């Protein structure tokens, strides 16, 4: 990625709804050049999609938690099976396969603590491949919406 690609990525992370014409104007290139760069970034997998940032409480998901899951036997089949099933559960917003004491970390969002408790004891605990889990309720969450590439030579 060169400097022009990085400018495009930075601007689209800030506002993915920018028109090609406006994007080209902001970086100082012709619209055709900008369009070809965006298409190239998409083909190369740098740009994987465009998403709306949704307010979770507006969707009745005001309680978020991170659930660290330990499997009884953390082999590939067990990880893939749990990962596939759990990632389809409506409460789960994200799933991470991790190294260390735990095998998976789930990011869940539910209406309230009663729903979180029900998710844990009715959906996770009965699974025979799950050896245990720890739950951390999220009080506040922030994230960086604009990421820049690291210089590989640094």
Q: Which helix (H) or strand (E) holds 81?
A: helix 76-87
What are the pLDDT digits (tens) for 38-74? 999 999 999 999 888 889 999 999 999 999 999 999 8
Among candidates 148, 128, 138, which has minimal Cα distance to 78?
128
Q: What is the CA radius of gyration of the chain?
A: 20
What are the pLDDT digits (tens) for 99-136? 999 999 999 999 999 999 999 999 999 999 999 999 99
> In DSSP terms, which residues pair with 154 in a beta bridge?
none
pLDDT bucket at 97, cuts 50 / 70 / 90? very high
Go through the chain and tell me how many residues it has.
Answer: 154
**Burial letters 106-140, b for 16+ CB under 10 A, else e:** bbbbbeeeebbeebbeeebeebebbeebebeeeee
Q: Which helix (H) or strand (E) holds 32?
A: helix 31-43
Name the pTM for this structure: 0.81
Q: What residue ranges define each of the domains in the chain, with the CATH number in brackets?
A: 3-43 (1.10.10.10), 56-138 (3.30.70.920)
């Amino acid at each position: 990625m060169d400097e022009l690609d990085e400018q495009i990525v930075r601007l689209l992370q800030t506002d993915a709804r920018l028109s090609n014409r406006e994007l080209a104007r902001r970086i100082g290139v012709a619209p055709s050049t900008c369009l070809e760069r965006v298409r190239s970034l998409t083909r190369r997998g740098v740009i994987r999609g465009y998403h709306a940032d949704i307010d979770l409480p507006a969707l009745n998901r005001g309680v978020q938690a991170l659930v660290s899951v330990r499997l009884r036997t953390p082999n590939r089949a067990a990880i893939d099976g749990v990962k596939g099933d759990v990632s389809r559960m409506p409460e789960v917003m994200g799933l991470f396969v991790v190294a260390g004491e735990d095998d998976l970390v789930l990011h869940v969002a539910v209406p309230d603590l009663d729903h979180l408790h029900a998710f844990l004891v009715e959906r996770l605990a009965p699974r025979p491949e799950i050896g245990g889990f720890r739950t951390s309720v999220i009080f506040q969450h922030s994230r960086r919406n604009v990421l820049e590439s690291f210089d590989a030579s640094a």
